[in-house]
Amino acid sequence: MGTRRHIELVDHTGDVGIRVRAAELPELFVLAAEAMFQIICPSCAVRKSLTRHVAVAGDDLGQLLVNWLSELNFWFCTEQELYGEFRISSLGDGFLRGVARGEKVDPQRHAIRTEIKAVTYHKLYVTQRDQEWEAQVIFDI
């Protein structure tokens, strides 16, 4: 994986967004997941006591990114799982397999700041420029 990594918050009226850049496409998806959980629980120290395997399909990279983040957000919303480590094991041909490691929310240690209602397609893009991948995602909060 490349070493160039960049996460930026994007101003959006009433919602919150991220713009991420990475040298490699799998790293871009990892960064997007890291950024989403930084919005949910900034500065949270997350132990890696559980592993969630994720497999999603999509017609293009944008749909794969939305489905990847939506699946992780689903597990946060339904099972109160926070993740601090992500790995993409397979990405391509309309399919993504990855792993998220984390733990259940511990109210004594985790201050949940933002709950994300949905990962949206609004202003979504995934593109490659100058040998660097970039994506933008807006979250409905």
DSSP states of the chain: --S-EEEEEEEETTEEEEEEEESSHHHHHHHHHHHHHHHHSTT------EEEEEEEE-SSHHHHHHHHHHHHHHHHHHH-EEEEEEEEEEEETTEEEEEEEEEE--TTT--------EE--TT-EEEEETTEEEEEEEEE-
Q: For residue 3, name the pLDDT band (cuts at 50, 70, 90).
A: low
Pair 20, 35: CB distance under 8 Å: yes
pLDDT score of 49 more than 90: yes
pLDDT score of 4 more than 50: yes
Q: What is the pLDDT of residue 1?
A: 46
